[in-house]
Amino acid sequence: MAIKHKRLGKHGVLVSNICLGTMNFGWHTSEEDSFKIMDRALELGINFFDTADVYGWDVEHGHTEEIIGRWFALGGSRREATVLATKVFNPVKRKANVAEVNSDGRSLSAYKIRKHCEGSLKRLKTDWIDIYQMHHIDRDCPWDETWQAFGSLINQGKVVYVGSSNFAGWDIATACQEASKRGMSGLVSEQSIYHLNNRMLELEVIPACRHYGLGLIPWSPLDGGLLGGALEKMETGRRKGESFEKNVAKNRDKLEKYEALCREIGHPPGEVALAWLLHNPIVTAPIIGPRTLEQLESAVRAADIVLEEEILQKLDQIFPGPGGEAPMAYAW
């Protein structure tokens, strides 16, 4: 198994072509197992870790960052070996904190960016965040304020790069143009939902990433497990839940063809779905969210899969995209 390292879009930093997502740490995966997964990820060559200030969910917002911080504190150059990304935008409600309107809402105000950055740094037990990502667009807050806040954190050495998540194509363009006016490098990455069964990014987000030199970091690359062998899991009772069953029923025709194709080429469906993303040059690293070591190992195996052009065409037939890029996808 060979993890490759590539630049994040047009930028100089080198990251692994698989990104370790940590959203399961602390509520689906124990702290002990989370430590094992992170250690094994580094052994495999995965140096790109993604988290968010709200991860930890039902246990407590920020709990996942605390787990990562305790792992960094074990030493062994763990922090130095990791390109660390976290996020700001959502409410972060902590049991020990007094309710506070600016922090408990969703925004990208300078007040919130500064305060939440300090909270993440403390929980992560680190002096800096490599990629500080806006978790969503805030169109009510002026870019003057947002970029001033990020610029201040960069000047203080607390943030190295700024990324976006869940931005529309025109949001990426606006953010980059506004940053350029201030002599800033702007966005380095966009983290968004993208997989075989949801290819809407191909209309405008991917062209925007290409134009401005952003690396694309797809989340939910297996469509919540749908592309990970859903039919087999349903038959063996390994994956249940009303919403999942409805999604399987809605997509059954496509899934039957997809899983048959995966059997034909001799690779598990989940690995094929990741390999398909890795064939797109705009994709820097799909985010995987392993709950176990085996899920981590499986994702890494996907990096070795080469999909021939004939297979890529068959996947396009099963999961057709929006027809290309805008406006040619719907006009001339």
Tell me the C-alpha distance between 261 and 313, whole Å: 12
Gyration radius from the chain CA atoms? 20
What percentage of the chain reaches a pLDDT higher than 90?
89
Q: Active site includes 194? A: no
Q: Report the pLDDT averaged over residues 69-76.
A: 98
Q: What residue type is assigned to position 210 of the chain?
A: R
What percentage of the chain reaches a pLDDT higher than 70?
98
Token pair for 5? 């390292």
**In the block, residue with structure tokens 């390994």:** 238
pTM: 0.95
Angle of CA points 164, 220, 55, to nearest 5°: 65
End-to-end Cα, the chain, rounded Å:
44
Active-site residue identified among 55, 161, 212, 258: 55
Tens of pLDDT along 126-168?
999 999 999 999 999 999 999 999 999 999 999 999 999 999 9
